[in-house]
Structures are given as C-alpha cells and as structure tokens.
Chains A and B, each alone.
Chain A
C-alpha cells in the first residue's frame, strides 16, 4: 500500500485481519499473520505507520491513535488465537482418571520347554556347539547297538523300550541316538547339543513320565580329557544357577561313556547338610557325563586312537518345572499349561 488508507478503510482492513487471525488453525499460520499484519518489514502496521509522514499534524494525531488502537486489537487477537490453538492441541481439558484399570495388552509366549532350551543353547552355541537333532522313531542300531548297548546288555533293562516293530523299530529311549547318527555321518572335530524328546515304558507319576525331554551335549576332538569335561560343565552350572553354585563330580556308570561321571550341585535347601529334597545327600544330581566309550566311537566309524570326546546329558523336565514352579510333570504337555496375563 503506497498511500495511507482512509480511516474507514483502515478499520475494514483491521477487521479482516482480526477475522483471519481468529480463524487460524495452527501456530505456523498464526505466525504468518503476525508477520503480515504486525511485525514484518512490510506488515500492514508498518506500512500504515510509514504513511503517517505524509499527513498533517492534526491528521497524524488522530490517525496515529487509530493505528495504535489497531495494533492493540491485532496483538490481542494474536494472543487469543495462540491460547485457543494451544488449548486445541491439549484437547479438551476435561477431568480424566489416569488410574483407571485396563486389561493388559496380550503378547505371545514361548513354551517353557523352548525358553529353557534356548537359554541352554545360548551358552553352548557361544562355546562353539551346533544345535542338532534326529529322528524320534529309531532303529535298534542307532539307539542301542551303536551306543554300546548290544543285545542282552543289562543296561537295556534300565531303559524299558517302547516298540513299534520289535525288536528293530522303536521310540528312542535317549538322545544318544542322535549322537551316534551324527558321529556316523560327520567327520570330527565336532561339537553339538541335542535338545529333544525321549520315550520309555515307565509308570508315570508326579515326578516321572514315559515321555520326557533331554538335553545332550557331545564334543569330539583330539586329546579330550575329563578336565575339559569338568571345566565345561562347571561353567554351564554357573551359567544356569549363578556364579556361587558349587559342583561335585563323582564316578557314575553309563554304558555310553568310560570313565563315567555324574555332576551334582550343592543342595540349596540345606547347603549340604542333608534334607528331604536332596534325599539326605546334601547334593542334587543334575546330569550324567563322561568320556565317550571307545566302542561307541568305533561303532560310529571314528578312530578312537586319533579322536576322543566327552558327552553329557540331563533331563530337562525337572529344570523346567523348577523354573516355572510346576509341581506335577504330567502337567507339562497334557494340555493343562496356559499363559494367562
């Protein structure tokens, strides 16, 4: 605007500006109006003020008063609009109960078995073991013959077998069948763990089941010692039960190994003095292990004069039950176990 508007025009301009400001919906728009009408170099007020110099003193006085009034009107409109926009951002300021109880959003859970197996796998994969597996319907050859349990071996009686086609086709009685399958088909050095189900024809009760889960580990390399086995399992016990765990290794017979060893941890209920939980032993057995029997290596086609190894195995169900507070093994896989929020 090159020349000053008439007073009527001025009032019309201010009215239009005031309207636009009051309708602005966001702060950016409002800022643009502020520049256009009030603060900008070429703003309406600036231009009007500059036009004053062309007026007479009396005109200047009355016109000046009008400009000041307009300035006030526009500033007040801007302020009002700002408050309104902020208020809109916060939505309506009505009273709200933030403590209102709500149902928790559902998430999925892995089965207790998977959670424990994954935890153990994490330890062993860090130490260079692969996670292996094999068939559950097995042959006598891989389940018994190659695991150093030839026909008529007394230890077969300890593993009351469930047969599909007696005597050749059966349900694996232990995950050692996977050990013999892998040793028979791969060349050493080897490191692997096998989490998996096994089956035995046993009477079931609160703490024993005919269908049970095992976790087996195998290492085959050169010059493998009981010292290697002890150190590995000691680290594993710390991983599973914490740094303060106390372990004990003792001789124990397993046909797949020689020498054989059992690993116990100090009973945390009685700290070793003996109680009902540990059957007065002061210790709780957690796994069986040993140096892989030369017969097992030989039957799997591995030269025991060059290679040796260790193996260990443990029942998973007991560990799962302890971790999840399950008191009856029959609840583990019968359909009773649910995750509620």
Chain B
C-alpha cells in the first residue's frame, strides 16, 4: 500500500519526517516494504499490505493509526448526505440476482461535465501512482485510495438496466483496458439486458464507461462475497487496486461512507448533487461487534502490568467505544471499519501494538522444561549422519519434487506408484520423488565435474509413493531412507556398509543375492536381519550410470529407517577393551561347492559356535584340481576363549559342512 506523505498530512498534524513516520508505522504493524522514494516534499511510503486489515487499504486507515501512535487527532474527510433510497423508483431498474452481493449502494448524478480534474486531485492520484483520467473517474479513484472502498461510475445513458448476477460460461467482457475476459458461473457481473458491463468484483467494462461525452452517471459502491472476489481475480489473473480491496473483508458500511464522500467531492468539483432517490440493497445488516477485555488477560500476555487507564485511552484513540467498565474489565464496541477485531486477543494486540512491543520486558520462561517428545527415527538418522561423515561421506540434500525423466533414467519408474502434483510452479517438476537415487547421482556428477577422485555421498531423506488404497493421506506413503553412493567397487563399498551398520545398531546382516533393477545381476543384494529386510546394496548398472554421465564403477546402498529402528541393537562396547583377552587361535579350511557363498557359511559357523568364539574370514583358495571338481576352499580363523578352547576346537573338528 502506497502512502504519499503529503496526502497523509491531509488527515492529521505530522511533526515528523517521512523516515520517522515509517519507523513508527513499522513498529505498529505497517512495515515499510520498499525504500522511501519520491521527490522532496512528496515522499512515498510503500507499506506491506499482507495483514488482515481492510481499513488500512485507505490512507485514512493509516492516518488513524498514526494519530493514535503520535497522540494527534484524526481529521476525517468531509462527506455529503446521501439521498434517501427508494429501490422501486430507482432508474435504471436494478435487479440483484445473486446472494453473493452483500450490499450495493447507488446514486444518479445528472448534467455532469466531464473535464480534466483540478490540479490538486490529479497531483494526489499521480503521487499514489494512478494516472488521472477525468474528473468523474478521478473522484472514484481518489475515494478508493482515501477510504479503501472501490467505487464505479457507469455512463447512465449507455445502461438500460443493471442485473447483478453470476456470469454464464461462454460470456465474455472487454475491460476498460481492452482485455477480453472469458467468464464463467463463478464470476459475478453487473449486466444490462444483453451482456456483462463489469466484472463487478474487480474491473469495469469498456462499453459502459465514462467518456468525454458522458452527461449522466450512475455511481455505485458494492460489496460482495470476498472469497468469490478473490477466486475470480486469481482465475482471471487480475491484480488491481479494486480486486485487492474487494478481496479483503470490508464492512458493508463502507458503501454508504464512500458514496457520501464522493458526493461531497462531486459537489465541490463538478457542482452536481443527486436529485432523485438513491438505491440501497443491504439484505442482512450487520450489527456492531461487542467485546470484553479482561485486564488480567492483557497483563498475562504482556508479561507486565498495563494500567487500565492506558489500555482504555489507546482503544478510544482507535475509535473503540467503551460501553461498560469495571475494575477487572471493559466492554467495548468495535468500530465498523475494524473487521479484523473479533476477539479479546485482538483487543490485547491493539493495546500492545500502540504502546509498542519495545516496552514489553524480557523474562525467560521460568517453568520446568516438560518431558522430552520422542522421535527415535530422527535420533537414528542423526547417528547415521555422524557415522557416514566419520566414514568420509559427504551429505547431500536433494529436491523432493522432481522431473519424472530422472526416475525413468534410474529404471525405477512405476506409474502406479507415482504421486503427481495437480499444480506446480514448473511443468517438468511435477512428481514427488519415488526414489532418492537420481538426486544423489546428480550430486555425484557435480563431484565428478569438480575432479574429486573418490566420491562418497549420502542423503537422509524420504521417498514418496502412493499405495492406491485407502482415503486421504492413507493413500500416500512417505518412506524414510538413509542412502549412500560411492565410486567404489563392490567389496570396497561393502566394507563401508558393514562398518556403517555395525556402528548404527550392531547389525550383522545376511546378504542375500537378488536381481534388482538398478544393480548388476551378480552384484546386488538385499540385507536381512532376523529375516527382515533392512535395505539393499549393489554395484550400479553401467547403463544407468551413463544415463547420469557418471564414469567408472559406482555402488549404492539404501536402508529403511523404520526397519533399521526395529532391528537395531545397542552397541555398548563400541570396540573399547581394557585388558587383553587370552584367546586360542586356529585356522580351518572347508572344501565347498564353487558357488557356495562365504557369507552364508560364516553365518552358519557363527550360529554353530559359541558366541565367545570369534570367527574371521581369511580367504578363498582355488586350483585346477578343485575347479575340475567344481569346488573351492574357504579358510576361516577361529579364536576361542581360553576356558572354552578345548570344547570349541572339538566342536569345530566335528563340524560337517555340506554346502
């Protein structure tokens, strides 16, 4: 909202510079949005208008706050009396066919002479940023900026009747600016017997507008269902002074106030006044809002005592009427223009904001801290971050909304599981990522381009899929993942995976070879603990890597936080020991089938032997003789605890391996 400093001074005495005024307004909720600009003597304050106050869309609204903040008196602009209304006798005939019209007030002015506006009026509008057109249109614009209420003037001789109705699909309107709008039944129009004349919630039409030849005018101020106004403007991409104001919750009383103010200006500038009855449609008149303010509630929120007299004075300066008062509370009537004040907390804010928050003291909360909320997944993921960075991996964070082409490049695309966005800022970025691999590989490429030789990256994040069953949120699944990739061969990468899992939750998973889409056929595995799948690891297919322009050999691991959490065991010792254990060592070689898996054999040995026995893989031995028999030798090193050495050694001797 632009506030020309010179214009603001019309409504109160100001003895401060534009910068000082901007600071005062900023503290009270009207922050300076852009640097102060304009010529010396007519500086412009551009203030944020993101709040819920309709009244400050008029300069008088800002002036009222500034008066309360600086202890001055607001000089409300002059108004002329409205003619009595007689809706039946009003010419032209007005029909209201939509319940979305909350109030519609109109007067007719005859024998107007359309000329350029007087200099003062043209200057005021120009300072605000509206180009002066003629005295009639300029008066309506002036009142809109002054009070915040849009008005519209029709050339009466171009209008045979007015029907306020919903548009019909297929109807269109050429605006006064020459843009053609394609309307539908969600738009509200003022139409004559043939066609829409205005999109009444946002913009006037060309056919019925004021022209230099106009002699008689119909001046109207209408208020409509605000959501309808906002949706229409949004769909038709109209963002103008009228649509912005009619999208806010203006009180219907603004209709009569704005017409009364315009009549004063028309009398003054054009020397015309209405001579026939007016029109006023106001089916559900709003009564005043009455609220209670309890001083104890005010003091609690402030964190200190605010004197009741001070609170009352502030509210009175903002035109709240004190209806009743006791030592404990007051009852106030909210002024009509403050549609944003609907509860006690709003009154409290009014008092504190005019006092300024700077006066509020500093007291840290002094009650005991409540019980901690538990989010174990988050704790585990934090441990994963610590572990992976210790292992030399760099964390990356990739986008949750991606281009489906990226997932197609991984081979993981499944139309049935994809979550598509109904609207996105970018046509290509329109799905929730169903995998975290593509994002990671993009980072991999950046590292490759930077010439990093050993690339190790990880991401803690979610993938998003739909299950196709259930209602609402049930249909959509967010899967928490800890995933990492590196340009390493399978066994080197596996070593990192094993250390990671050991640190994270003392995992000693079973590696089960599995053909998975993204991994080389012989180098992909599902990892299981207690029979439950905790994740997958593998060497990525060459074709996939070339889709992401990656060179060399890459491995990837992906673990599911929820599953890890279920299977994690505490890792109490963390490898720390204070004394040397006396162990008896022994190597044993097993002759097994050439395709027997060493990991499986190791797991079996661990199950067979006592938990105190430490078993380590030594190596695989193959020679021509063994190969002929389709066999190989696998050697393990066993370390027995002294007390169990004899028993365990005996057990090992008798162990029959038939793999």
Contacts and interface: CB of A to CB of B under 8 A. Distances in A.
Nearest to A292: B345
Contacts of A334: 398-399, 442
A81 interface: no
Interface in A13-57: none
B425 A139 contact: no
Contact of B364 (A129, A165, A232, A285): A232
A284 to B, nearest CB: 12
B353 A154 contact: no
Contacts of B33: 279
A255 interface: yes
A167 to B, nearest CB: 10
A171 B478 CA distance: 12
Interface string B444-459: 0111001010101000
Contacts of A299: none
B367 A259 contact: no
Contacts of A79: none
Contacts of A226: 301-303, 352, 357, 360
Interface in A236-259: 248-253, 255, 258-259
Interface string A190-209: 11100001010111100000
Interface in B296-314: 300-304
Contact of A335 (B53, B346, B398): B398
Interface in A275-311: 279-281, 285, 291, 293-294, 308
B78 to A, nearest CB: 31
B473 A108 contact: no
Given A155-B52, A225-B301, A203 B425 contact: yes
A131 to B, nearest CB: 6
Interface string A313-336: 000000000000000000011111
A165 B395 contact: no
A227 B303 contact: yes
A235 B364 CA distance: 9
Nearest to B349: A259
Given A108-B389, A231-B363, A274-B35, A332 B397 contact: yes
Given A130-B375, A224-B365, A251 B343 contact: no
A281 B358 CA distance: 17
B249 A154 contact: yes
Nearest to A127: B369
B300 A308 contact: yes
A162 interface: yes
A108 B353 contact: no
B28 A250 contact: yes
A110 B393 CA distance: 9
B36 interface: yes
A102 interface: no
Contact of A165 (B32, B249, B422): B422
Interface in B19-63: 19, 26-29, 31-36, 50-53
B372 A166 contact: no
Interface string B333-356: 000000000010110110011001
A234 interface: yes
A227 B445 contact: no
Interface stretch (B7-15, B113-121, B226-234, B575-583): B226-234
B274 interface: no
B464 interface: yes
Contacts of A165: 422, 472
Contacts of A203: 425
A252 B32 CA distance: 12
Interface stretch (A2-10, A66-74, A91-99, A215-223): A215-223
B370 A251 contact: no
A248 B32 CA distance: 14
A173 to B, nearest CB: 13
Contact of A211 (B304, B364, B401): B401
A26 B290 CA distance: 99
Contacts of B346: 258
A340 B472 CA distance: 44
A157 interface: yes
Contacts of A158: 50
B395 A338 contact: no
Kindly name the residue among B31, B385, B445, B462 whose own CB sees the greatest number of chain A CB atoms within 10 A: B31
Nearest to B369: A128
Interface string B114-143: 000000000000000000000000000000
B450 A338 contact: yes
Kindly name the residue among A137, A158, A171, A219 whose own CB sees the greatest number of chain B CB atoms within 10 A: A137
A280 B395 contact: no
Contacts of A145: none
B87 interface: no
B561 to A, nearest CB: 12
Interface in A141-181: 151-152, 154-155, 157-158, 162-166, 168-169, 171
Contacts of A122: none
A128 B36 CA distance: 43
Given A203-B425, A250-B28, A260-B349, A157 B230 contact: yes
Kindly name the residue among B348, B373, B378 whose own CB sees the greatest number of chain A CB atoms within 10 A: B373
A151 B423 CA distance: 19
A154 B249 CA distance: 9
A135 B420 CA distance: 17
B36 A280 contact: yes
A188 B371 CA distance: 10
B189 interface: no
A338 B394 contact: yes
A211 B433 CA distance: 13
Interface string B364-390: 110111101111001000000100111
Nearest to A128: B369
A166 B420 CA distance: 12
B148 interface: no
Given A154-B247, A291-B345, A336-B446, 19 more contacts: A108-B394, A110-B385, A129-B369, A131-B378, A133-B378, A136-B478, A164-B422, A171-B421, A221-B365, A224-B365, A228-B303, A231-B363, A250-B26, A279-B34, A281-B26, A308-B301, A334-B442, A337-B396, A338-B446
Interface of B: 19, 26-29, 31-36, 50-53, 226-227, 230, 234, 247-249, 300-304, 343, 345-346, 348-349, 352-353, 356-358, 360-365, 367-370, 372-375, 378, 385, 388-401, 419-426, 432, 439, 442-443, 445-447, 450, 452, 454, 456, 462, 464, 472-473, 475-476, 478
11 contacts: A110-B385, A133-B378, A137-B464, A137-B473, A191-B369, A210-B425, A230-B362, A252-B29, A291-B345, A332-B397, A335-B396
